[in-house]
Chain A
C-alpha cells in the first residue's frame, strides 16, 4: 500500500490499475484529438454506464428545482446581462476590486499566464516554508496545472473535495466541473481508496456513506494542521471586494477558515459589479449545477477579518488566454460561464464520451467553445482557427448542435452559435493550408451542375454508387477520394433513378427540356 504525497508519479503505464491517463503538461490540451479519443471512450462500457447513470440523475434533479422557480427566465436574462456588463467594464471593475481587497488587508497579484500564476503561488507558499498545502477544488488552478507546478517545488497540494481527492489518488484527470470523478462508480472509488489511502479502513465497503466517512477521517488532520490553503473563486463583487466560494462538503470552509494564509486564484472574468448581484447568481448556480435549491455551504469573505479566519490573504487575478477570448465579439460570451456544468449533463455527446475525450480540464459543450479559444494562437483576434495540426481544432465539431446546452445555460451562452462560428474559422484556417477534399468536391460539383449534359452524366454515375450500399441502404465505405467523406460519415444510397430520369419516362411524347435524351434509357436499365 502506498501513500500518495501529491507528487507526480514518474512512471505511468497502461497496466496501472486505475487507467492510463498521465497528468498532462498542458491541462488545456492533452491526449488524442477528439474524434480518436471519443472512439476510444465509446468502447468503454463501464464508463458509459457510469456516465449515463450520473447525468440522468443530475438532469432530473436540476429540472425539478428549476421548475419550481417562477422567475427562472428573468433570472437568466439578468445573469446574462450582468456578465455582459462585466466584460464591457472589465478594466474599471478590476481596478475597483483591487482597491477594495487591498483596503481590507488583502494582497492582489496579476498573472499574464499559467506559468506566472504558478510562480506567484509557489513563491507565497515558499515564503511560509511549508511542504504541504490544502486545496479547495478549483477549475482555475486545474487550468494552470498548479498542483504539478507546486510538486516541482517540493510542495504537496492536497485536494480536499471528495471527487477531486478520488481523481488525485488515482492519478487521474477530472472529467466534469462539479463531479470530477463522475466517470468512476462506487466500487472503483472503494478500490482506489484501499490502494492509495494509507489510513483507509481495510473493511471499507462501497457504500457512498462509508467512503465519505473515510475521506473525512483522512483529511481531518490535514485541515487542522495546514498553514496555507489555496482556493479558486466563484464570484468576486467589485464594489465591496467580497469573494465567494460555493461548495457542499465543508472542505471549502475548512480551507477558507482554518489556515492562517489563503491564496485565491481567480480568472479575471469572475467578477460581478455589485454585491447585490449575488442575489441572482446564488439562485442560478446551485439549481443549475447540483440540482439543489442551495448548496450546503457558501463562504463569502472580504480581505482579512481580524481574529477570524486567515490573517494573510492573496488574490491572484489570472488572464491565461482570457483577454484573447475577450477580443472576439462572438466567442467572448464563453467568458460569461459560471462553471455550473448543466451543459455537460444535458449534452448527448458528453453523456456518451465523458470528459476525458475533450482533452481539457474544460470538457463538454462549454469546453468545446472555451478551450480552443483559450489556447488559440496568440497575437491577434480570431482566436480559434489554429488549423488541423492543433488537437483542439476538432473540439467545435464535438457537438450535434442540438441546442440543449443553450436551453439550460443559466447565463444564456449561445453555445451552438459559437460552435458554428468556430467551425467556420477552423475550415477557413485549413483552406489553402493543405489539399481540401471538401473544397475540391465543391469545385467539381459546381462544374458539373453548370451544364445540363454534365449534370445528367453525373447523375448516372451517382446511380452506380447504389451498388456500394449495404442492405440497409447506407454506404459506409467509398474508395478514395470518396473515403475522405465516408471516413467519418455514412452516406445514404443514391436513388436508382433520378427525378429527371423518372420524369423523362413519364413524358416520352412531350418535349424534353431537361437534358440529353439518353437519360431515360439508363434509367430503364437500372430498374
Chain B
C-alpha cells in the first residue's frame, strides 16, 4: 500500500515537474466573479416565495404557516396516516403535541445516535418529522446536517413520508450562501434534499419516488 502511494505520488510529480511541461504556478488566483448571494435577503418574503415555487416544481408539498402553528401543520399533513412515526430526539417536543397520543391513533418513536431504532423498524414507520439546517431557494433544496433536531441519516431515508420543518430565517437564496454556512461544520454528515426521490432513467421521463421518501412535505414556519 505504501509502495503504491509512493509510486502514484512519484508519477504525479514526474508528470508535473517534467521540464517543458507548463505547471500552473501553485497559489494562482482562481477567478470568482460569480454571485455569492441572491437579490433576496435570507428569510425575506422573496426568498420564501422562490423556495415555495421551486419545491412545488419538484412535486413536494409546501405549507407556509406562522411559527406558532407548526404543530397544527404537522398534524394536518400526517392526518391521512396512522401508526408509528419517528422523530429525532432533539426535535422540539412542542411540534409533536398534536400528533402524539391515542386520541389521533399515532405514536411518535424517538431516535438518536446513542439509542437508534433498527432499520426494520424505520422501514415500517409511516413518516419522519425533522427540522433542517438551511434551505436554498434558487434550487429548492433543503440541507440536513445530522444534528439532534434532524437526526441520523437513516431516519429520513427509510420512511415513505418526510415532513421537514424549515424556519423562515434558515432560507437563503443561493447555493454559495448555504455552502459557506455549512462550511463551519463541514465534518457533519450532510444530506441535500431537493424534492422527493426521483428517476429519469427510463427515456428521461421523470418519475417521483424511488428509494427515498416518495412524499416530501415542507412546512415553512414564518
Q: Which parts of B26-50 form the interface with A (CB within 8 Å)?
A: 26, 28, 30-36
A-B pair count, CB < 8 Å, reads: 273
| B210 and A249 within 8 A (CB) | yes
Chain A residues in 8 Å Cβ range of B179: 275-276, 278-279, 282
Chain B residues in 8 Å Cβ range of A237: 186
B193 at the interface (CB under 8 A from A): yes
A77 at the interface (CB under 8 A from B): yes
Chain B residues in 8 Å Cβ range of A110: 1, 4-5, 7-8
Min CB–CB distance A321 → chain B (angstroms): 10
Stretch at the interface among B63-71, B74-82, B146-154: B146-154
Given A109-B1, A112-B4: A296 and B197 interface contact (C-beta under 8 Å): yes
**Using an 8 Å CB-CB cutoff, how does the interface string of B153-191 with A read, 1 for contact, 0 for none?**
110010000000000000000011011101100111111
CA distance A85 to B8 in the complex (A): 19
Nearest-neighbor residue (CB-CB) of A219 within chain B: B211
Nearest-neighbor residue (CB-CB) of B30 within chain A: A81
A: contact size bracket:
35 or more
Nearest-neighbor residue (CB-CB) of A103 within chain B: B187
Nearest-neighbor residue (CB-CB) of B4 within chain A: A110
Given A216-B210, A224-B119, A258-B119: A88 and B16 interface contact (C-beta under 8 Å): yes
**Using an 8 Å CB-CB cutoff, how does the interface string of A283-306 with B read, 1 for contact, 0 for none?**
100100010111111111111011
Chain A residues in 8 Å Cβ range of B202: 162-163, 166, 181, 184-186, 189, 208, 211-212
| A294 and B210 within 8 A (CB) | no
| B193 and A297 within 8 A (CB) | yes
Q: Which parts of A109-140 form the interface with B (CB within 8 Å)?
A: 109-112, 116, 120
Residues of B within 8 A of A (CB): 1, 4-5, 7-9, 11-16, 18, 21-26, 28, 30-36, 54, 58, 112-114, 116, 119-120, 123, 136, 138-141, 146, 152-154, 157, 175-176, 178-180, 182-183, 186-205, 207, 209-213
Chain B residues in 8 Å Cβ range of A71: 33-35
Beyond the given pairs A212-B201, A250-B210, 16 more chain A to chain B contacts, judged by CB atoms under 8 angstroms and listed by A's residue number, are A57-B203, A78-B34, A81-B28, A212-B207, A212-B209, A249-B197, A250-B157, A254-B212, A258-B157, A294-B140, A296-B197, A299-B189, A302-B189, A308-B153, A323-B14, A326-B16
Min CB–CB distance A335 → chain B (angstroms): 10
CA distance A71 to B38 in the complex (A): 11
Cβ-neighbour of A88 out of B28, B190, B196, B198 (below 8 A): B28
A43 at the interface (CB under 8 A from B): no
Nearest-neighbor residue (CB-CB) of A50 within chain B: B203
Nearest-neighbor residue (CB-CB) of B33 within chain A: A74
A-B contact pairs, 6 of them (CB 8 A): A78-B30, A92-B26, A208-B207, A212-B209, A305-B146, A326-B16
**Using an 8 Å CB-CB cutoff, how does the interface string of A187-227 with B read, 1 for contact, 0 for none?**
00100000000000000000011011101100110011000
| A294 and B203 within 8 A (CB) | no
CA distance A299 to B199 in the complex (A): 17
| B201 and A216 within 8 A (CB) | no
Nearest-neighbor residue (CB-CB) of B36 within chain A: A279
Nearest-neighbor residue (CB-CB) of B2 within chain A: A110
Interface centre among B178, B182, B183 (most CB of A within 10 A): B183
Min CB–CB distance A287 → chain B (angstroms): 9
A327 at the interface (CB under 8 A from B): yes
CA distance A162 to B22 in the complex (A): 43
Interface centre among B7, B34, B140, B195 (most CB of A within 10 A): B34
**Using an 8 Å CB-CB cutoff, how does the interface string of A221-261 with B read, 1 for contact, 0 for none?**
00110000000000001001110000011110110111000
Cβ-neighbour of A295 out of B9, B35, B194, B213 (below 8 A): B194
